[in-house]
Amino acid sequence: MANEYRKTESWIYPTVLLCLCGVFNYLKPSEPFLTPYLMGPEQNLTSSQLVNSVYPVWIYSYLASLIPVFLITDYVKYKPVIIAQGIGYISCWLLLCFASGVPMMQLMQFCYGVATAGEIGYYSYIYTIVETNHYQKVTSYVRASTLLGLFIGSVLSQMLYSLAHLSYYYLHIISLVNVSIAFLISLFLPIPKKTIFFYISDNESTASGREELQVEEESEDLKQSTAKKHEKSKTFKAVVLDLLGDLKVCYTNKVLLRWSVWWALSTCGWILVVNYVQNLWETILPSRTEVIYNGAVETVATVFGALGAFCIGFVKLNWNLWGELALGFFSLLKFALLMLMYWTDNIWICYSAYVIFIILYNVVITITQFQLAIGLTTESFALVFGVNTFAAVLLNAVLTVILIDKAVLGLDVRTQFIVYSVYFGIVACVFLIHSAYNLYQKFCQQKQTSDSTSATGDKDKQENVEPLMEATM
């Protein structure tokens, strides 16, 4: 009983801390009003400066941070990366509250990119601190905590703006306080004794010490020394070789590759839309002269996006057969929604199209994740998650350089949404055509199998009839 209690307590404590950290990290009421704040009297930046000079820095910083963070997260045992994420968020909001000008706002976006890359450590940490049988529960708790933070932050932002008439500046102060609380909580997270890649249990040596571990009266010194015997540290070269081997296994599977490509393409488009949609809203309904409802829209998008992701788990469908067709159809819907957002001058139509877009993304990314998780181990899933995210961010950075950065095309925000719409239109065509081809092939194979079975049955029947005829004669 004492052992069971200690095991239960060992996973509850870090899970509670990580969930609290997630709630406060994502409870940022200033985010729905970031563009109005930066274009308002406090910062006085122009739309062109924001779209073509400031916002692109985030994706460059995110991309530059993603590879080193991915490689060192497991080696440094996750907690330092979560702490660094907190420092990044605090630096970002300190600059938003107390600095001004394009260079400082570019630095702010750089800090935000570093913090965003740190999410790898946040979402992976829990799998190193709890037992495998708790994975499903803790995953749902951690995801729910981030959604709760987003929901409360969005509701709070609209209420403080519309009802309390609080200025955007004080919304940023509240966000600064919340990310600081999250940082303080992260300091109390326990450091994992084992990790996914570098520090693993030595299964070969556990047999000899199994009886010793079952003795409850053993001393703490003996426990620690025994635990050290059961852990081993892999070299960096060995880890890299293992990762490359896992990548080869994962991406030579056509089904997994198809879902991974969709993940990268869909996430890339989602990042572009979410990052620049506030600028589109600002062109349709300027915040300086009109009351805006960005916070309410983000609230609705978060709630219904989470609800859509939850409900899709109960849909009974052969995703191996119809999944690619569904991906193409959803992309076609995104194409239509983004084109509508470009054409309309009605802010409510634009808001509604954005909400539906977010719901579709959450639904499809959930399908993608559980389809990949079916055929992968926890270690491989973490690797595929990182590689797919990197591919999405890399593609996003390339498109940002070409389309948005003032050094190349420097497109205005409305023209950008035409390009985003065409992007999803191309993705839709590719997946619809390929799915139609696959369905046709499977139909032909089934027909051939059916004909072959029928022919075999006729042959067997003929063979049975001939001896009967001979016996009759």
Domains and CATH numbers, the chain: 1-189 (1.20.1250.20), 236-452 (1.20.1250)
Phi, psi of 260, deg, nearest 5: -70, -40
Q: What is the mean pLDDT of residues 279-296?
A: 90
Q: What is the mean pLDDT of residues 128-146?
A: 78
The first and second tokens of residue 30, run together, are 């200033």
Q: Average model confidence (pLDDT) for the chain?
A: 82
The first and second tokens of residue 385, run together, are 């998650």
**Which pLDDT score, from 0 to 100, does residue 167 have?**
92
How far CA 425 is from CA of 255, 324, 332, 368, 432, in Å, comes to 22, 15, 6, 19, 10
The C-alpha atoms of residue 185 and residue 414 are separated, in whole angstroms, by 41
Q: Tell me which residue has tokens 């948005």.
A: 404
**Contact of 53 with 279, CB cutoff 8 Å:** no
**Which pLDDT score, from 0 to 100, does residue 382 have?**
67
Q: What is the mean pLDDT of residues 79-85?
A: 93
**Contact of 325 with 313, CB cutoff 8 Å:** no
Nearest CA to 34 among 157, 162, 179, 182? 157
Q: How many CB atoms lie within 10 A of CB 309?
A: 20
- Work out the widest C-alpha separation in the chain, in whole angstroms: 107
Give the DSSP per-residue string, 432-446. HHHHHHHHHHHHHHH
pLDDT tens digit sequence for 386-431: 788 889 999 999 999 999 988 888 888 999 999 999 999 999 999 8
Q: What is the pTM of this model?
A: 0.80
Q: What is the DSSP letter of 223?
A: H
**Contact of 152 with 175, CB cutoff 8 Å:** no
